[in-house]
Chains A and B, each alone.
Chain A
Amino acid sequence: MRASRRLVAPLLLIVCSIALSGCWDRVEIDQRGFVVGVGIDEVSKKESASGEAAGGSDRKSEQAQSASVNTQNNKRPKYRATYQIVTPGGMKATTNGQTAAAYFHMTVEGTTLSTMEANLAQRMSRAPFFEHLKLLVISESVARRPGELAETIDFFLRDNQMRRSTRVMVTPDKAADILDTQTPGERLPSAYLELVSNNVMNSSRILPQTRIGDVQEYLLKNKSFGLQMVSNGNRAYSTIGGTAVFSARSNRLVGFLDGRETAGLNFLRNTIKGGHIEFPYGDEGGHGVFIVQRMTRRIRVTFDKGGLPTFNIHIEVQGALNEAARIPDTLSQDTLTRMGQDAGKAIQQLTEGAIDKLQKQYRSDVIDLDEYLARKHPRWWNKHRANWEQGDNLFSQAPIRVRVAAYVHRTGNINLTEEEK
C-alpha cells in the first residue's frame, strides 16, 4: 500500500505536467498587433479593378483565380476597412529623441468584417488584437446603405475581444483619411479622436459620446439615433461636430445636422455639458457670448382631441458671460436680465432649427421624444408606436414648442473693456 502510494504522487505530477505543454493562450505582449482604430469605407469600383491589375507576375494567376472565385460566388468586396495598428516600438518613451511612427495602417477589402480580420492575419506578423479598439469610423457611403448598419457592427459586438465602449463615428469623408490625422501632440490618431470626442464639456456642438453598445441598444429598440460626425479639415486635425442622423425606418444614415443644429439637439436632449452660445444684444449690434454651465429640461405632453400629442419643452439654462462687445454695464441687474433673455432667444433659435430639420427633412425622432412617451404614456405609445415615424408620421406632425429661459449668473473678471459711448 505504501509503495503504491509513493508511486502515485510522482505519476500524477508527470501526468499533470502534460498540461504545461499546452499554455494555449500564452502570447507575448509584443507579439500582439494592437488594433486601436478601424475605418470602414466603401469599395469604389475603380480601386477594386486597379487592385486586381496590380498583382505581380506570379501572382496574376492566383489573383485571377480568386477573382474568378469571387465572381462565381457573386461576392464583390463590400467593405474596405482600414486598421490602425500600433507599433509598440514607436510608443515607448523616447529617450533618444527619435520619433518613430507609432502606428501603421493596413487596408483589407472583403465582404464580412470577421473574414477581413482573418485576411489581416495573413499580412501581419503579429496577430490582430482588438481588445484595445478605441474607435470605429464609418464613412457616409457605408452608413447610407439601407438596413446594413447592424450587419456592419455585428462583428464588433459579438467577438469576444470587443468592448461595448468602443466609440462609433460617422464621417462624410473617407474613413481612412480620418484615421490618418496626425496632430503634432498626439501619437495615435485613434487616441486623439477619442479624446476630442470627450470634449463635450467645452463645446455644445459635439454630441455626447456614442458607444457601440448604445448603438446596439438603439437598433434593438428600433429607434432613431444620432452619431458623432467627424470631418477632416486637413491632415493635421479632424473636427468632431455635428450629428449623423440614423432613421429607424431603414436603419441607415439619412443626413447630417450641422454644428448649430447639433447644439440645438443637445439642448433638447438635455445633454449639454458646456458650450458657448453667441447672442445679439441690443440695437447697436452688440453681442455677447454665453457659456452654458447647467441646464434642466422639462417635457410636458398634452393630447388634443385627435390623439396627437403636443410637446412643451421648457429649458432652463444657467451660465456665465464670457465675451461681450458693446454691452453696457454688465453688472447691473437690467443688463443681466436682458442678456439672459437674448441668450435664451438664441438658444431657442438653435433648438427650433434642429426640430425643423428633424421633423421636416429627416422625419426621425432623435430628440428622444419617443422614449419619453414610452415611459410616461405607455398605453398611448403602444397604440401609436407604429405610426410615429412611419405610417402617419406622427412625429413630423406633432407640434413641439420650446421655451428657453437663460440666466446669466456671472460676468467674469471685468465689467467693460472700453469706455461706454
Chain B
Amino acid sequence: MTEVGLISMEHKNPVERGPKSAPGQSLSASLKENVQYIKDQLQSPGDLLIKSIMTAAGNKAAVVCIEGLVDKQFQVQILQSLLQEKLHINEEADSETTMSVAGELLPIQDDRKSNEWDDIMLSILSGDTAIFIEGVKEALLLGSKGWKSRAIEEPQTESIIRGPRDGFTEDLRTNTALVRRRIKDVNLRFESFRIGRRARKEVVLAYLHGVVNPQLVVEVKRRLESIDIDDAEGSGYIEQWITDRYWSPYPQILNTERPDKVAGAIMQGRIALIVDGTPFQLIMPITLSSFIQSPEDYYQNWILSSVLRLLRVVSAFMALFLPGIYIALLEYHHGMLPSKLAFSIAGAREGVPFPAVVETFLMETTLELLREAGIRLPKPIGQTIGVVGGLVIGEAAVSAGIVSPVMVVVVAVTAIASFAIPAYGFAISIRLLRFGIMIAAAVFGLYGVVLALIVNCIHLANLKSFGMAYTGPLAPLRLQDWRDFIIRVSVMDMNDRPSILETMDDVRIKSDKQGEKSK
C-alpha cells in the first residue's frame, strides 16, 4: 500500500497547556472497556452517539461522535464505507490491519490514529468521529466537523464603502480559509495552539515566514504558552492576558473582524492570532497609527485617503479634548474666547443653574447612558432612540434651562468625533480618557489640560506593543514610515514595509530579487 502522505494541519499535535483530562491514559484493547470509558467520562450525555457495528471484515467496531458537531453526510459515508464490501480485507486479518486499512480506504481526507485518551476525547469533543475496533489499542479519528455556523456576512462594527464585505465568523476553519484565500504564499505559516484548561479552544498563529521578525514570533509564542486559564472566551481574554500593559487604557493588540485587515497586517510583517469561537481576530504588534487607519484607505484615491486620515486625527483630538477645553475656557480663561462668543455664551448661561463643570459631566454621562442603552435595544427601536435621545432630550434640557445650548453642541460634536475613529477599542479608551481630561480641566483649567496631555503622552511614550514602541513612526522617528502614517502616498510609492516592524524582507514592490535584503 502506498503511503498516502497528506499533511493537514490537524496532524500536528497542538501545543497544549494545563493538565490533560486523563494524563497518560491510553486505550485498552477491549472495545467494551473503551466505550464504557467514554460513557463514564462524559456521563452519557444525550448527544453522544455510539454506534456499534460489525465491519465487513467481521470486526466489532464502535463509531463514536457527538451529534450536532458532526456533519451528517460524513457519518453516512463513514458508516457506509465501514459496512460495505469495499473494504477488501482478508477475513482473517487482525484488527490492527483492519484499522490501518480502514484508515487508508475510508473516504475521509482527515484521519489519524491515536492511543491517548486525552487526545481522543478532545477530538471527539471537537467534532471528530472516533472509530474503535475490538482488539485494537488505537482509535481511528476522522475529521468530520460540520456544524451550523453563521454565514459570511459584512462585519458590523467595521463597515466600509469600497472594499470586500466578507467578515470573519465564529468558525476557525472558515476564518483561516478567508485568510488563506488572500495570501497564497507558501511562506504563510499557521501554527496551532490550544488555550484554556477546560475549554481547550484552538488558536492559530499566522505569520509570513521570511518576512516577520523571528524574535517577534518567539515572543508571541512564549506569551501564548503562558496563558493559564480555564476558558479564554472570545479573543478578549487572550488579548488581555498577553498584552504588555494590561492596565493601560490603550489597546496594544488590535482586534478586527475584517479578513483584509488581517491579511494586510500579515503582509506587513505582523502576526495575527485567529481565535476559534469569535469573529474578532487579533493583530500584533501595533502602534498608534493603526487606530487612524482603515482598510478603506488603501482602496481609495491616495489624496482622499490622506485627507480623511487627517480628519480622523483631528476628530480623535476633538473627541478627547473638546469637553475639557470647553470647561477650561468657560470656567477659567474667559479672556481667551473671542469677544462676541464670550458675550453670547455668557448671555446664554444666564439662567442655567449649574456651573459649566457640572453641566458637562451631566451631559457626558447622559450621552454615555444613551450609548449603552442604544446597544441593547432591538434594532428598529435602537435607531430612533439614538436620534430621539440626542435631539429631543437635548432640546428639552435646553428649554428647561438645565443646560446651555452650547453644551449640547459640544457634547454632540464630541460624540460624532468619537464615532469617526475607525478602531472601536481606541474609541472606547478615548471616551474614558475624556473624563480624566475633564477633571483636569475642572481643577486647573487650560494648564490642567496641558498637564493631562503630557501625562497621556508620557504613558504613550512608555507603552510598548510586543517590544515595539507604541508611538510608532512618530517617535522613534522613522521618516520612511511616514509614507503610510497619516498621509498615504500613492500605491506606486509604497516601497517598503514599515521599518518599525524590523522585518527580514523590507521591499514590497518592484523587487528584483525576492527574499532578504541586507541593510
Residues of B within 8 A of A34 (CB): 334, 339, 342-343, 346
Residues of B within 8 A of A26 (CB): 331-332, 355, 357, 442, 445
A336–B218 alpha-carbon span in the complex (Å): 88
Q: Which of A25, A28, A90, A191 has the most CB of B within 10 A?
A: A28
* B150 CB, min distance to chain A CBs, angstroms: 45
A90–B350 alpha-carbon span in the complex (Å): 10
Report yes or no: B335 in contact with A132, Cβ–Cβ below 8 A: yes
* A415 CB, min distance to chain B CBs, angstroms: 45
Known contacts A19-B443, A23-B443, A29-B334; A89/B350 CB under 8 A: yes
Taking the complex as formed, is A418 at the interface, i.e. its CB lies under 8 A from any CB of chain B? no
Residues of A within 8 A of B342 (CB): 29, 34, 132
Taking the complex as formed, is B356 at the interface, i.e. its CB lies under 8 A from any CB of chain A? yes
A92–B349 alpha-carbon span in the complex (Å): 10
Contact of B350 among A23, A30, A132 (CB under 8 A): A30
Report yes or no: B356 in contact with A88, Cβ–Cβ below 8 A: no
Nearest opposing residue in chain B for A187, CB measure:
B343
* B344 CB, min distance to chain A CBs, angstroms: 5
* A6 CB, min distance to chain B CBs, angstroms: 15
What total of A-B pairs shows CB separation below 8 Å?
75
Nearest opposing residue in chain B for A130, CB measure:
B335
Tally of chain B residues near chain A (CB < 8 A):
22
Report yes or no: A30 in contact with B335, Cβ–Cβ below 8 A: no
Taking the complex as formed, is A9 at the interface, i.e. its CB lies under 8 A from any CB of chain B? no
Residues of A within 8 A of B347 (CB): 30, 88-92
Report yes or no: A161 in contact with B332, Cβ–Cβ below 8 A: no
Report yes or no: B443 in contact with A86, Cβ–Cβ below 8 A: no
A29–B349 alpha-carbon span in the complex (Å): 8
A30–B332 alpha-carbon span in the complex (Å): 12
Taking the complex as formed, is A287 at the interface, i.e. its CB lies under 8 A from any CB of chain B? no
Contact of B332 among A25, A92, A129, A134 (CB under 8 A): A25
Report yes or no: A88 in contact with B335, Cβ–Cβ below 8 A: no
Q: Mark B306-349, 1 if CB is under 8 A from A, else 0.
A: 00000000000000000000000011101100010011111111
A208–B445 alpha-carbon span in the complex (Å): 37
* B441 CB, min distance to chain A CBs, angstroms: 10
Report yes or no: B334 in contact with A32, Cβ–Cβ below 8 A: yes
Residues of A within 8 A of B332 (CB): 25-27
Residues of B within 8 A of A89 (CB): 347, 350
The B-contacting residues of A in range 18-64, CB under 8 angstroms, are 19-20, 22-23, 25-30, 32, 34, 36
Residues of B within 8 A of A20 (CB): 443
Taking the complex as formed, is A329 at the interface, i.e. its CB lies under 8 A from any CB of chain B? no
Nearest opposing residue in chain B for A188, CB measure:
B343
Taking the complex as formed, is A131 at the interface, i.e. its CB lies under 8 A from any CB of chain B? yes
Nearest opposing residue in chain A for B345, CB measure:
A29
Q: Which of A22, A27, A29, A90 has the most CB of B within 10 A?
A: A29
Q: Mark A134-173, 1 if CB is under 8 A from B, else 0.
A: 1000000000000000000000000001000000000000
Taking the complex as formed, is A93 at the interface, i.e. its CB lies under 8 A from any CB of chain B? yes
Residues of A within 8 A of B350 (CB): 30, 88-89, 92
Nearest opposing residue in chain A for B346, CB measure:
A88
Report yes or no: B331 in contact with A27, Cβ–Cβ below 8 A: yes
Report yes or no: B344 in contact with A32, Cβ–Cβ below 8 A: no
A409–B334 alpha-carbon span in the complex (Å): 49
Report yes or no: A29 in contact with B356, Cβ–Cβ below 8 A: yes
Report yes or no: A30 in contact with B346, Cβ–Cβ below 8 A: yes
Known contacts A88-B343, A131-B334; A25/B445 CB under 8 A: yes
Report yes or no: B339 in contact with A28, Cβ–Cβ below 8 A: no
Residues of A within 8 A of B335 (CB): 129, 131-132, 161
* B341 CB, min distance to chain A CBs, angstroms: 10
The B-contacting residues of A in range 76-96, CB under 8 angstroms, are 86, 88-93
Q: Mark B371-413, 1 if CB is under 8 A from A, else 0.
A: 0000000000000000000000000000000000000000000
Report yes or no: A36 in contact with B339, Cβ–Cβ below 8 A: yes
* B146 CB, min distance to chain A CBs, angstroms: 52
A90–B332 alpha-carbon span in the complex (Å): 23
A30–B355 alpha-carbon span in the complex (Å): 10
Residues of B within 8 A of A27 (CB): 331-332, 334
Q: Mark A181-199, 1 if CB is under 8 A from B, else 0.
A: 0000000000100000000
A36–B335 alpha-carbon span in the complex (Å): 12
A93–B346 alpha-carbon span in the complex (Å): 11
* A193 CB, min distance to chain B CBs, angstroms: 14
A131–B343 alpha-carbon span in the complex (Å): 12
A34–B346 alpha-carbon span in the complex (Å): 10
A89–B349 alpha-carbon span in the complex (Å): 9
Residues of A within 8 A of B445 (CB): 25-26
Q: Which of A20, A22, A26 has the most CB of B within 10 A?
A: A26
* B204 CB, min distance to chain A CBs, angstroms: 39
Contact of A29 among B339, B346, B442, B443 (CB under 8 A): B346
Residues of B within 8 A of A28 (CB): 330-331, 349, 355-356
Report yes or no: B344 in contact with A91, Cβ–Cβ below 8 A: yes
5 extra interface residue pairs, beta carbon distance < 8 Å, beyond A22-B443, A30-B349, A92-B348 = A20-B443, A26-B357, A28-B330, A29-B356, A191-B339
29 pairs, A vs B, C-beta closer than 8 Å? A20-B443, A22-B443, A25-B332, A25-B445, A26-B355, A26-B442, A27-B331, A27-B332, A27-B334, A28-B331, A28-B355, A29-B330, A29-B331, A29-B349, A29-B356, A34-B343, A88-B344, A88-B346, A89-B350, A90-B347, A91-B346, A91-B347, A92-B344, A92-B348, A93-B344, A129-B334, A129-B335, A131-B335, A134-B339
